[in-house]
Copies of this chain bind each other. A is one copy, B any other.
């Protein structure tokens, strides 16, 4: 059994290496990659790898790497080991995990023991391990309580990218008016909507831009989510003949 580490911070890499050797004595080889690209390559070469990776790497974001790895080999087991439990990350991960796949998500702030336990659970006992905090985020995200529909999240991304209503309608196969409906819905859920009564900060905010701002502040969006979205967008634009 071999384990592949994908992590760009050297300190964290060597810490992980040690933890893996300690927690998994049956493991007979630990490989390291310092970014998503190298990680994908190594994962492709290895027959069936067990992977521990960071999200948020400079070269190629962890979620992208995981997506292509899982696309080629859906049975690969991946433990995400991240600093944050931003909704953007959690949503990004649960969007790409294949059905029935074994994976984990533990925070770097977790204790030594928790990490080792997660390693054993996932790689030996084939059991998913999701940190409490991350799990909470998932629930809040997927349950409709204070949670965002896939449609709402989608349109949030579209305006964050700077698309016009018309472009969004075209991209999502909707009428312009429907796009605007979803926008209104989004504004309400983000607490950005301005009831006409309050003369207080009337007209201070541009709803569209404000929605993006609070989404960022609430970590519903983050840099890597935006990068992924931008990549998707330009792929779509290239596929688009002309208007």
Contact = CB atoms under 8 A, between A and B. Distances in A.
Copy tally for this chain in the complex stands at: 2
Q: Binding site of A, secondary structure by majority: helix, strand, loop or mixed?
A: helix
Interface residues of A, number: 42
Interface in A106-164: 108, 159-164
Contacts of A44: none
B212 A166 contact: no
A47 interface: no
Interface string A211-243: 111101101001100110010000001000011
Contacts of A11: 11-12, 15
Given A217-B226, A222-B223, A230-B217, A204 B163 contact: yes
Q: Which of A160, A200, A213 has the most CB of B within 10 A?
A: A213
A173 interface: no
Nearest to A213: B162
Interface of A: 9, 11-12, 15, 83, 108, 159-164, 166-167, 192, 199-214, 216-217, 219, 222-223, 226-227, 230, 237, 242-243
Q: Please give me the 5 A-B residue pairs with the lowest Cβ-Cβ distance, nearest first.
A: A162-B210, A162-B209, A167-B204, A162-B213, A11-B11
10 contacts: A9-B108, A160-B209, A160-B212, A162-B206, A162-B209, A162-B214, A164-B206, A166-B203, A200-B242, A213-B226
